[in-house]
Amino acid sequence: MYFVFVFEEKDRLGNKVTIIGPNTSRVQRITNGLLAKNKRIRTLRAAWEEAEKITVASALNDALKEGYIQMALGVEGHMTAMLRFRLVSPLKRQLAELKGKPWLLIEGIFSPKPERIGALRQAYANFAADPEKQKLIPPYKGDPSLVDLALILYSGESKLPLLTNDRELYNFSADLRAMGFCELIKAFPYVKF
């Protein structure tokens, strides 16, 4: 899931300021390109639920780390809990609105077989043991989450590409495809539209 956000907030002087998330224009361009080709966007329910619980806070934290929200609002130092709450509210509202879009399909039931999950985990263990493949694993990564594993296997079973910004997934796209785990894993940073 890529979180896109555009909302207004008042700065410390009371003026309205538009806050735009870091990947917003890129995600909108890719989404519009897919929709122009009459494509629908799919995700798994588990991935959606992860987005509802984690991605909103993660997107806000990433934006705060970059400092542009504080700069736009004229806030120096620590953000108060109340300001964080005010910033999260429109993000949650936008996520709820996204869920209602007719072009977004949230797959209700996809349960990969435990042996497929195990085989995929073993593939990643093999990547981690190979000195050349180790170079492709981002720092502090390498063991994909159960949701990531399910997305890879869903790609394989549905014959649909997976678009991701997770390097530990797209760096192994060719290997995972050759092993029959996925259809295609495309790197979000390199998709052109």
- pLDDT tens digit string along 106-153? 998 899 999 999 999 999 999 999 999 999 988 877 789 999 999 999
Structural domain range at position 123? 114-190
pLDDT for 108: 84
Same domain for 23 and 68, yes or no, is: yes
pLDDT for 104: 94
Q: Let me know if residue 109 belongs to a domain.
A: no
Contact 167, 141 (CB under 8 A): yes
Domain boundary among 58, 84, 104: 104
pTM above 0.85, yes or no: no
- pLDDT tens digit string along 175-187? 999 999 999 999 9
Same domain for 17 and 100, yes or no, is: yes
Pick from 34, 36, 5: nearest CA to 22: 5
- Bridge partners of 19, per DSSP, are 7
Same domain for 10 and 99, yes or no, is: yes
Contacts of 186 (CB under 8 A, 6+ apart): 161, 162, 163, 164, 170, 173
Q: Is the pLDDT of residue 1 over 60?
A: no
Same domain for 69 and 135, yes or no, is: no
The whole-number average pLDDT for the span 94-107 is 90
The whole-number average pLDDT for the span 5-33 is 85
Residue with tokens 């890879």: 152
pLDDT for 2: 55
Same domain for 70 and 155, yes or no, is: no
Q: Let me know if residue 1 belongs to a domain.
A: no
Contact 151, 120 (CB under 8 A): no
Q: Quote the number of domains for the chain.
A: 2
Same domain for 119 and 81, yes or no, is: no
pLDDT for 69: 84
Q: Let me know if residue 38 belongs to a domain.
A: yes
Same domain for 141 and 57, yes or no, is: no
